[in-house]
Structure 1
Amino acid sequence: MMDKDEQFWNASVEELAKGYIYEEEKSRFVCLMCQESFLTGVIYPFQHLLLEAKRAIEAHIELVHHSMFDYLVNLDKKYTGLSDLQKELVISFREGLSDKDIVSKMDGGSTSTIRNHRFKLKEKEKQAKVFLALMSLLKDEKEIGMNEFIQIHKGAKMVDDRYAITKEEKEKVLATYFKNGLDGGLHTFPSKEKRKIIILQHILQSFEPNRIYTEREVNEILKKFYQDFVTIRRALIEYGFMERSNDGSGYWLKG
């Protein structure tokens, strides 16, 4: 089963815009933001309405997440490719503001500058389409399989060469450090960061999305993998796999 980051990054552009995917084998619609699911054939109560699955997930996204636009535009720059200024402009365009209104809102600049930014964003859209087509053709040429890179979790910090991990590398590292099988204990916690990331991604599968764990619950899960569970717990936070409350009483999966 794909984890939530795989679901998000494997979704088509159309699915990302809608905010959900349809899993045909399970006959359900799944929210890309929180993984809430709605089974076809089931009627769901929403406020004073009774909704079938597709309409229910649309209502869920509107009620709980407000809009997919808000979610996407607030992703980190490493995912959107937008500068702070471009992000502010895109939000203003979404609000239907005129170039003159945007100049007033930003307290500076000129309408010609705003028009130039509109043009650059349109060019960025064209480039993105061509790039997506190129990557699609690469897949058609079978340049995937064991050389395919694993998905980067959305909470990742400082995405760099550490995350250039192929599926083949992942399997070798897991086999090396989990000598008694993936359900067994961790032989040792590696010092190299790329290997740490692979190990942490595997351990993370033992946690459920949309659930808040106490520190004790986190420790109990991590003890099954490694005696020094404090080191693992700290690494999960450090590498952006998990978040915790300011007082350390609650832990949850990030993203």
Structure 2
Amino acid sequence: MDISELFFSSSVEDIKRGYMYDDKKEEYICLICGKVYESGVIYKEEENFYDAKKYMQVHIKNSHKSVFDYLINMSKVYTGITDMQKQFLMLYKSGRSDKEIAEKMMTSNSTVRNYRFKLKEKEKQAKVFMAIMEIINENKSNEDELIGVHKSVTMTDDRFLITEKEEKNIIKNCFDKNNHLKDFPAKEKKKVVVLKHILINFKRGEQYTEKQVNLIIKRIYDDYATIRRALIEYGFMDRKNDCSSYWVKD
């Protein structure tokens, strides 16, 4: 399971913390970047020593500032929050009064109170919707489960409506026994699955030169330029404007 799937399958409490604990592997996993710290190991940061759980908290603070900062800056596709609501929430979290928020946002006190009211209603609706979905999921077949959409996607449409069974069949049909891509598919759904499968050859948090990206892709498919462009276009990877560095998007 990749980090996007792990993120969206985690509980609200785990997402709030920014990490989860895998009982089987006995390790803490960062839900933002996938960093893993093994339970029972002592980690050193400067002159301090931490157990795995505490060190995961240190990692989130040092690498991601805070879980709130990461969540509030996620794509609107996932938060459903407008730019103005986002600005309000950031000011509201900082402890400012309605008057102070209104001044910062250059609006009226009544508008700020309206933001608070609407977001409170949105919270209630989200709780009810989550309860409905949990009831549905209790009786749903795994075969019908849709694959997770990567967190960096900027929009969702029909190309991402793929079940786990479809994903397995597409991978089986598009790749040979040596994991070499037979041909880059024209259908959008197949492209998404193929690109997601190719992405497992790259490590999160690591920077790659364009030459390194090309070499990795070339082991899978001869037309590495097409795949490289598609990984960027579909939001699986990002790069600097001068193409000097590539990385897997969170």
TM superposition score normalised by structure 2:
0.96
For residues 129-140 of structure 1, the aligned pairs below 5 Å read 129-140=127-138
Maintained 8 Å contact 2:239/2:247: yes
Distance 1:229 1:125 in 2: 45
For residues 27-176 of structure 1, the aligned pairs below 5 Å read 27-108=26-107, 110-141=108-139, 143-176=140-173
For structure 1, the 5+ residue unaligned runs are: none
Question: 1:4 aligns to what?
Answer: 3
Distance 2:19 2:89 in 1: 22
The two structures, once aligned, show a CA RMSD in angstroms of 1.3
Maintained 8 Å contact 2:75/2:154: no
Q: How far did 1:214 drift?
A: 1.6
Distance 2:122 2:54 in 1: 33
Q: How far did 1:158 drift?
A: 2.4
Distance 1:66 1:72 in 2: 11
Paired amino acid for 1:187: K
Distance 1:24 1:248 in 2: 40
Distance 2:61 2:169 in 1: 43
Paired amino acid for 1:20: Y
Q: Which of 196, 220, 226 lines up with 1:231 in the alignment?
A: 226
Paired amino acid for 2:69: D
Paired amino acid for 1:139: N
**1:71-90 deviation line (CA, Å, top 9, x unaligned):** 00000111111001110111
Paired amino acid for 1:136: E
| Equivalences, count | 250
Q: More relative contact order in 1 or in 2 (CA 8 Å, sep 6+)?
A: 2
Q: Which of 182, 190, 195 lines up with 1:187 in the alignment?
A: 182
- SS of structure 2 residue aligned to 1:26: coil
Question: 1:204 aligns to what?
Answer: 199
Distance 1:214 1:161 in 2: 32
**1:137-184 deviation line (CA, Å, top 9, x unaligned):** 11111x131111000011223211111111122122222212x23x43
Q: How far did 1:120 drift?
A: 1.0
Matched-pair identity in %? 46
- SS of structure 1 residue aligned to 2:77: helix
Maintained 8 Å contact 2:143/2:163: yes
